[in-house]
Each structure stands twice: as structure tokens, then as C-alpha cells.
Amino acid sequence: LPLIATGLVVAMGAGWDVALTHLIGAAAGFGGLWLVGWLYQAVRKRQGLGGGDPFLFAGAGAWVGWIGLPSVLLWACAVGLSLVFGMLVVRRSVSATDRLPFGVFLAVGIWLTWLYGPLGL
């Protein structure tokens, strides 16, 4: 929650229009990742995301705005898939039940998006 609050306070310093896009980003970040986790659990009958991941993604939206959320997610997935590829090289197998802490990858995605801006896709 402090990540969300500080992101919104910093955005307010840039003006209300910027603050609004960051507030929308925080809401969309939380709601979007919460919905993905809920749907995964409804379909697979097991938890797929930790309870803190939607809050961290809300913090991402508060810091980079809604326009940066796809970049954060893309960076996070790319880093996560790189780790899985490394596990395949070292261990020669990866199970569907292996647990990966997605929050770490989200944090890297937030940092890279904040540092370099949203990807121009």
C-alpha cells in the first residue's frame, strides 16, 4: 500500500491529469491481476498468483500509469520466461507445479518501465 500511495503522491506533483492516469493505472493494475488470479483459481482449482501480486501491480500502475502497465507485464513475463529457460538448461525439466515468485519479476518490470518508459509497441 505504501508503494501505491507514494506513486500517487508523486504523480500529483505533475498535475491532476497525470495523477488521474496513475490512479486509473493503480485501479486497473489491481483489478486486472486480481481477475487473472481469480479466473486461474476457478479453472485450475488451485492458486496461481500470490495475494500480494495484485497490490504490487497496483503499485506499478500508480508509478507508471495505465499506459505503462502492459510494459511492466511484458518485462515481468520476459524475465520470468528467461528464468524458466535457464531452469530447463540446468535441470532439463520444468513441472507445471513448480512455483515461481511472480512478484520479483513484476518488481523488475516496474523498475525497467519506470527507468526507460513504456515500450513503444
How would you write the pLDDT of the chain (121 residues) with one tens digit per residue?
A: 899 999 999 999 999 999 999 999 999 999 999 999 999 999 999 888 889 999 999 999 999 999 999 999 999 999 999 998 998 899 888 887 778 889 999 999 999 999 999 988 6
- pTM recorded for the entire structure: 0.88
| C-alpha 16, offset from chain centre | 24
- Contact partners, residue 74, CB within 8 Å, separation at least 6: 109, 119
Nearest to 53 by CA among 107, 114, 111: 107
Q: Could you give the CA distance from residue 58 to residue 14 in angstroms, rounded to a whole number?
A: 19
Q: Could you give the CA distance from residue 107 to residue 119 in angstroms, rounded to a whole number?
A: 16
C-alpha cell at 18: 497525470
Residue ranges per domain, the chain? Answer: 1-116
